[in-house]
Amino acid sequence: MNLKKTLKPLIKFEHAHKRVLELLFVLYVVFNIETPMKLAKMVDTPMGNAVVAVLALTMFAAGGPVAGILALIAAHTLIKRSSEATGTIYLQGAEKAEEIKKDILDNYNSFPKTLEEEVVGQMAPLVAGGNPNSDVKPILNNIDGAAPIDN
């Protein structure tokens, strides 16, 4: 009988909508309710995240501190589940994995210059047009029926 007297003020008609929302928030957070793909695509955008956060913050004014805190927790859960449903959370991890692999490969490929590389680096550069002061002129041997180069 004492429990009934304690619960009666909590379940007044004017506070019933707050309690229903609080119960819905708790059920959404506790049970792994799958987010529909259409809703997940809308929420998993910067604008969608902002709208969900603003709606959760308005629960502080409309429903009180308990409903506001539960709304923030439910909003965080909704945003997280939406990013899992669309797959963007997994893409963010893939970008970091590629950076890690690149760093590892760079470490494997970082070794000092070899003797051959040093010698080639010190050689005189080749001239594209040949040496104009040279008496040597290139000639073309018999091409045995092949088409000439300028054909």
What pTM was computed for the model?
A: 0.55
**pLDDT the model gives residue 78:** 93
What's the confidence (pLDDT) of residue 122? 85
Residue 11: per-residue pLDDT: 60
Short-list 32, 33, 52, CA closest to 42? 52
pLDDT at position 24:
87
- pLDDT of 88 reads 82
Instruction: Profile the chain (151 residues) by mean pLDDT over runs of 10 residues.
Output: 64 71 88 88 91 90 86 93 85 75 84 86 70 70 74 65
